[in-house]
Structure 1
Amino acid sequence: MLFSSAIFLFAFLPVVVLVYYLLPKRCAAARNIFLTAVSLLFYAWGEPRFVFVMLLVIVLSWFFARKIEMTAGTLKKTLLAVAVGADLTVLFIFKYIGFFTENLNHLPFVQLPVPQITLPIGISFFTFQAISYVVDVYRGHVAQKSLWDVMLYIAFFPQLIAGPIVRYSDFADQIRNRQESLQKLAKGGYRFALGLGKKVILSNNLAYVADAAFSSVGNLSLSMAWLGAIGYSLQLYFDFSGYSDMAIGLGQMFGFRFLENFNYPFISRSITELWRRWHISLGSWFRDYVYIPLGGSRVKTKHRLYLNIFVVWLLTGAWHGAKWTYIAWGMMYFVLLCAERILGWSGKKTWYSWLYTIYFFVAGNVVFRSENVTGAIKYLLAMFNIHTSGLTDAKAVYYFAEYIPFLIMGIVAAMPIAVWLRSRTGRFKEVINRLYPIWCAAVFLVALSFVVKGGYNPFIYFDF
């Protein structure tokens, strides 16, 4: 079930909010059980059988966390390793075993059958949250005695299929101790409305431009190559940040606070800054659960430092999917981040550092979007007018003319103009704050019109 679907907007969400607030506020356990039950229903809507995969991960994590909390010494570390290994095994079987087998078959005298396994939606998100749970318990956080509470943490529907990745250390106290209010309900609704607008109005329409370009690799003009690359970069941003906004807003409607997942990445002036602003929850997860345990930057040699960065970005690329393009994308960022450290560019704040950051971000998205490495190379060459059909063509003219309003709106919305306006003092700030609910309502109504009308509604992060 998509947040941007009619069934969610007109049936699931209104019923869930209504029933939740009808339950007595003093019955926190009943409200938690209700949210857990509807979250499982939400996940089961498309593929009911995959609920059992998620339940397996939840039960294993709950069981091992309880054992870890009651154990000490070497056995405690062993239990942690087994718990994390079990979660990663489930992820490997469903997401990577086919890719792994295909590549093994390139070796001499190896010919194994390639398993055809359907990927459960959001498996990378809920397995990472399960790992966060057992690791945080190992580090001293109190394990949940109630299996239902662990289910609520891992399966909570706002962040289940597209994040942000919520760490147990940030969520634990909110399970039993949170404050719901009509004010929070309204603020969450405003945030949800803006996220829905990002997804339905901007991302879905920019997808037409991106798809037209990436389906024509090998026959692109220079202008169409750039139009498609920029269109896809904006599509990806509004797809994922829109879902993150909706998730944060939904969480707030039920009294939960999720950390921000995007912070205007298009204003970044270094690759280092970009990854502090883009998919913040994933970057911080790898920092706290992989990079720092490996030694982080507090290591004796530069070689070990670069090895740690390499491991993080190899895993980051692989996390996104079982394709060589994702690995290549991760390695590109590994090289860029190391280069910035060596050259001392990570702190640069100039217009040309912004240009190179945006260029590599857009180029990286080309690799990310391409079906294979060969296709990515062909597309990148076209962006330098190599092996193109010319500077421009009829397709580029058509898509530019047809979708220029969405491109302009996308570029404007990707900049922190609204933040700047709301930071103003005096009566101007007062007027902006009063207009904010009206603006959110207008965006929501326009987005609803797109939903009711139907049309193209892709969701990039379903693959992860």
Structure 2
Amino acid sequence: MVFSNTLFLYLFLPLNLFIYYGFKSRKAKNLTLIIFSLIFYAWGEPLWIVLLLFSSLVDYYHGLFIERHRGTKLAKLGLISSIIINLGLLITFKYSAFIYENINMIFNLSLEIPKFSLPIGISFYTFQTLSYSIDVYKGEVKAQRSFLKFLMYVSLYHQLVAGPIVRYVDVEDEIENRVSNISNVSDGINRFVVGLAKKVMIANVAGEFAAQYMNSNLQSITMVEAWFGIIMFTIQIYFDFSGYSDMAIGLGKMFGFTYMENFNYPYISKSATEFWRRWHISLGSFFRDYVYIPLGGNRKNMILNLLVVWFLTGIWHGASWNFIVWGLYFGTIVYLEKKFLINLLKKLPKFISHIYLLLIVIIGWTIFYFTDMNSVVEYLKILFGLSNNAFSNSEIGLVITNNIYWIVLAIIASTPIVKKLKQMINDKKLDYIGQAACVFINVLIIITCTSMLVENSYNPFLYFRF
């Protein structure tokens, strides 16, 4: 099940809210969230609930063990055990086929490649439970005594399958003392509707355009078509993932949880370093706090630390060489910026720095899109006029002309312009007419999105596969 689904919008979520707020006791509310979360997760493949429950049990008992033996070697042993089990599960289900394929290729063997379907959200909830064990070991949180409360933290369907990565320390208090009121529900609905609009009205449309050109015969597309395709994917992946994060944050608010922001208008950045402070913030902060800084950060072996973090960032996104190359590509650029490029960029006009960033990102998304590295090279050649492909044709010109207003709106929506306008309106303290207008806009967006979902079956969530 996905958020941008009529079953979720008109049955699952309303029913969850009705039952949740029908109970007064915190225990009943928690149990309601657990049941609905497990139903949500089981909708696609019920078998993987077993893995989710096992992972939760592992870290629940490891947390208790680590706290009981805090300050001793047994606590460190408990932490190591938690890390090995969690990463072992992740490697088994996500990377084992990739590892076997490369062993066969390198050593010219014919080992049977294991076939596992990828459990949805395993990369996200593995990192969440890992962060819990590490934080208990460091003494930053107390071990949760109730397994049901811990299971609720791990399984909350709002962020379970595609983030943001929610650390236990950020919701520890809300598990026990969250506030559920009309104001939170209203704010949550507003945020959810924004995310829904991003996903259905922008990401899905851009995704169809991207697939039309990037999945076509690369020998036949023109240079302009190639640029249009990758720009559409650039739009799609941002609005797809940030839209999902908005919906997750909105859902959290409806039930009294506050999740961290995961995006901060990354495409307005003027360097790759700034871009990664604004893109997938929860993942970046995880690697910073649990990998980069413990390795020594900028103080010791900075080059090695950056390579490790960006290798892990790449491989986290998928078991394929293009993701590793993509991660190391950005790692190299971030290192060069730290050494000298950032000082040079500061001296240049802002629009040039911005163009530099967009070019870097578009090349990166090309690497990200194609799992076949030969296709990556071929597509980059087309983009920069290094192939024999034609420059343009009349069809692409017509496509751009017919969709120019949508393209402009999508670009505007990727900037803080709308947010600033909304803030200006809020500063004037909306009267009842203004509040009614906001409700009307939300209803109009929901109706429009519903219509688009009913008419079109194209509705993927890109980050589900990670």
Given the two structures, how large is their TM-score scaled by the length of structure 1? 0.95
SS of corresponding position for 2:378: helix
Query: Which whole-Å CA distance do the structure 2 matches of 1:422 and 1:7 have between them?
Result: 30
Other-structure match for 2:113: 114
Measured after TM superposition, the shift of residue 426 of structure 1 is 9.4
Instruction: Give 1:364's aligned residue.
Output: 364
Q: Which residue of 2 aligns with 1:178?
A: 178
1:378 equivalent in structure 2:
378
Deviation of residue 428 (structure 1)? Answer: 6.0
Paired with 1:442 and 1:417, the residues of 2 have a C-alpha distance of 21
- Per-residue CA distance 1:192-221 (angstroms, 9 max, x = gap): 011011101111111111001211223221
| Equivalence for 2:457 | 455
* Map of 2:290 onto structure 1: 289
In 2, Cα distance between equivalents of 1:134 and 1:427: 42
Cα pair 1:313 1:334 within 8 Å, conserved: yes
- Give the share of equivalent positions with the same residue, in percent: 40
In terms of mean alpha carbon deviation, does 416-425 or 369-378 score higher?
416-425
CA contact (8 A) 1:224 1:395 kept: no
Say whether residues 1:415 and 2:415 are aligned partners.
yes
Residues of 1 paired with 2:26 and 2:429: CA distance? 37
The one of the two structures with greater contact order (alpha-carbon pairs below 8 A, sep at least 6) is: 1
Structure 2 CA distance for partners of 1:76 and 1:426, relative to 1, 3 Å: closer
Q: Does 1:397 align with 2:394?
A: no
Matched, 1:331 2:332: no
After superposition, residues 47-446 of structure 1 pair within 5 angstroms as 47-71=45-69, 72-140=71-139, 141-216=141-216, 217-299=218-300, 304-345=301-342, 348=346, 350-424=350-424, 430=430, 434=435, 435-446=437-448
Query: What is the root-mean-square deviation in Å for CA atoms of aligned residues?
Result: 1.8
Find 1:37's aligned residue among 16, 35, 44: 35
Q: Which runs of 5+ in 2 are unaligned?
A: none
The CA deviation string for residues 137-181 of structure 1, in whole angstroms up to 9 with x for no partner, is 111111111111111111100001110000111011110111110
In structure 1, the residue corresponding to 2:107 is in which secondary structure? coil
Deviation at 1:440, TM superposition (A): 2.8
- Asked if the contact 2:23/2:29 (under 8 Å) is kept, the reply is yes
Matches of 1:115 and 1:374, distance apart in 2? 25
* Structure-1 separation of matches of 2:172 and 2:267: 33
Give yes or no for contact 1:105–1:112 (8 Å, CA) kept in 2: yes
TM-superposed CA distance for 1:395, in Å, is: 4.6
Gaps of 5+ in 1: none
Listed one character per residue, the Cα deviations across residues 390-449 of structure 1 (whole Å, up to 9, x for unaligned) are 111255235324543432221111011112213438986758964444333322221122
Q: Which moved more, 1:384-393 or 1:15-24?
A: 384-393
CA–CA separation in structure 1 for the residues paired with 2:102 and 2:427: 63
Amino acid in structure 1 at the alignment position of 2:116:
I
Q: Deviations over 1:294-347 (max 9, x none)?
A: 111132xxxx11111110000000000001110010011011000101115077
Q: Secondary structure at the match of 2:460?
A: coil
Q: Aligned AA for 2:124?
A: F
Q: CA deviation at 1:454?
A: 3.5
Sort the Cα spacing of 1:176 and 1:412 in 2 relative to 1 into closer, same or farther, 3 A: same
- Give the secondary structure class of the aligned counterpart of 1:419: helix
8 Å contact kept, 1:219–1:388: no
Contact 1:202/1:235 (<8 A) preserved: yes
Instruction: Decide whether the 8 Å contact of 1:29 with 1:176 is kept in 2.
Output: no
Distance change in 2, residues 1:437/1:362 (3 Å): farther
Tell me whether 336-345 or 440-449 shows the greater mean CA deviation: 440-449
The code of the aligned residue for 2:312 comes to L
Asked whether the equivalents of residues 205 and 406 of structure 1 are also in contact (C-alpha less than 8 Å), the reply is no
